[in-house]
Amino acid sequence: MNGLSESQIQSMISLKPQILFSSVDKTLKPKIEYLQLLGFQGYGRWIISNQQRVFNNAAFLKSCGIVGSQLSFLLTHNASLFVIRESQLRSYVSWAVNLGFSINSGMLVHGLRTTTSMSIGKFENKLEVIQSCGFSKDETMQMFRRSPGLLSRSEERLKFKIQVCLVKIMLPKSLLVNSPVILMLSMEKRVIPRWRVRKLLVSKNLLNENPSSLQVLLLQEKKFLKKYISKFRDNEEALLEAYKGPPFGRCFYIIVIIKSSTISVS
């Protein structure tokens, strides 16, 4: 039946035996095709038991500009939004809009995904964590609107990442406000290793130009290795050692959590 597996069809029939009396061409086929166009493949059992709400909520989300792959993204990360009351879904969207995400903007789906994945209290606590690191309320909201997924991190991990950037690497606050995507990167596997390499290159006066921290951190892995390590053959071994060196350890993480307001790191 239009791409559904045998087990999915069996699940649909067991949940809704009356489906056997529905018109294949007039009822079943159009609905299944519509759901597959939205990216709902593989959700036969779940959809058939909530099909009317799924249709209504999907239609409402489409009217807000959340279509195609964005609908699939939302289904994958927060499927419950498709079966809650439409009035509740509208409230969630209104909340996201009030936080600064515009209808028909590409960021609405990400704002909605983040805000509906936690309680209001948890959401506010995470905003307070960012502010406790020295950011104003306005700066904090700018960071959230630019990278909503930032708040999907735990409060401890969020504080840790911010303090690594501000204290260990000494990035300016303004850079994190304008490019909070940095805080979405792995500190241990990306940020600290690349910082070490950049620091070594600068200390040896090997760079004709001083690349920005943002350029260094966001560069694709292969391009980074080629541009900042393999290019300098006489110093390649030292650069690789800096890049693959031991992590700065959990001691810094523990200090951040226990004494986040008075950190001293060499």
What distances in angstroms separate CA 114 from CA 109, 110, 147, 190, 263, one per listed residue? 9, 6, 10, 24, 30
Inside any domain, residue 220: yes
Long-range contacts of 204-213 (CB under 8 A, 24+ apart): 204/235, 206/232, 206/235, 213/169, 213/171, 213/175
pLDDT of residue 194: 94
Overall domain count for the chain: 2
- Low pLDDT (below 70) residues in the chain: 1-50, 247-266
pLDDT of residue 210: 79
Q: Which CATH number fits the domain that encloses residue 244?
A: 1.25.70.10
Inside any domain, residue 33: yes
What distances in angstroms separate CA 58 from CA 66, 89, 104, one per listed residue? 9, 10, 14
Same domain, yes or no, for 38 and 133?
no
3-state secondary structure 158-194: HHHHHHHHHHHCCCCHHHHHHCHHHHHCCHHHHHHHH
pLDDT of residue 13: 41
Inside any domain, residue 66: no
Inside any domain, residue 151: yes
Pairwise CA distance, residues 8 & 13, whole Å: 9
pLDDT of residue 83: 84
Pairwise CA distance, residues 144 & 152, whole Å: 11
Please, are residues 167 and 263 in contact by the beta-carbon 8 Å criterion? yes
Residue 44 is inside which H or E element, if any?
helix 44-48
Inside any domain, residue 8: yes
Inside any domain, residue 56: no
Same domain, yes or no, for 139 and 251?
yes
Confirm whether pTM is higher than 0.85. Answer: no
Inside any domain, residue 42: yes
Task: Render pLDDT for 212-243 as a digit per residue (tens, 0 to 9).
Answer: 889 999 999 999 999 999 999 999 999 999 99
Inside any domain, residue 254: yes
Rounded to 10 degrees, what is the CA torsion of 129, 133, 139, 142?
Answer: -50
Same domain, yes or no, for 245 and 132?
yes
What are the strands, taking DSSP E only, across the chain? none
What are the strands, taking DSSP E only, across 108-255? none
pLDDT of residue 3: 47
Domain of 18 in residue numbering reads as 1-49
